[in-house]
Structures are given as C-alpha cells and as structure tokens.
C-alpha cells in the first residue's frame, strides 16, 4: 500500500533538486505523481525521503487522504486568528 506525500521546497528550484537527488540516490525507487500535486510512495521510504528533503531544503509530509478536510480545518484556524 502506498502513502500520499507532499514535498515542499523553499522554491521550485529546490523541489526539482529534491527529485534529481532522489533519483540519484535511489534510482530504482520511483515516486509517482498523482493528479492533485501529491506523490505516492512506499511507506518504508519515508525516512529516506525526509533525509533527501533535508539535503535539498525541502520538507516531506504525509498528505491528508481527504484534502477537503484540510481546507475545512484551515477555515477554523483563519477565523480564530482574526
């Protein structure tokens, strides 16, 4: 079973650098992009993904299964911050 992740870099350059570095270090581990801008990976890769992320100024986080829930939760945080 695969997990959905987000890769957030300082900017687009570093996000691309993440993928280049990942391909170099783990050529047989393919990261699959989905239609929502997230990536699907094997759960046992998470530690390695975080390490490569740190090397390329990126953060790797597990994406929510339901993106609508995250938007819903952010609406509460935004309102309470006002």
Q: What are the pLDDT digits (tens) for 52-81?
A: 999 999 999 998 766 565 555 556 666 555
CA 35 to each of CA 4, 10, 32, 40: distance values in angstroms, whole numbers, following the listed order: 12, 22, 10, 11
The CATH number fitting domain 3-81, selected from 3.30.70, 1.10.20, 3.40.50, 1.10.10: 3.30.70
Spell out the residues 6+ positions from residue 58 whose beta carbon is closer than 8 angstroms to its own: 7, 8, 9, 10, 14, 15, 17, 18, 52
**By percentage, how much of the chain surpasses pLDDT 70?**
78
Spell out the residues 6+ positions from residue 41 whose beta carbon is closer than 8 angstroms to its own: 2, 3, 5, 29, 31, 32, 49
The pLDDT score that the predictor gives to residue 35 is 82
* pTM across the whole model: 0.76
More confident residue, 26 or 80: 26
Mean pLDDT score, 1-7:
92
């Amino acid at each position: 079973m695969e997990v959905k992740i987000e890769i957030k870099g300082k900017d687009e350059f570093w996000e691309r650098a993440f993928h280049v570095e990942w391909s170099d270090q783990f050529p047989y581990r393919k990261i699959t992009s989905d239609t929502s801008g997230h990536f699907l990976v094997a759960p046992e890769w998470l530690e390695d993904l975080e390490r490569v992320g740190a090397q390329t100024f990126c953060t790797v986080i597990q994406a929510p299964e339901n993106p609508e829930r995250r938007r819903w939760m952010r609406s509460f945080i935004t309102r309470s911050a006002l």
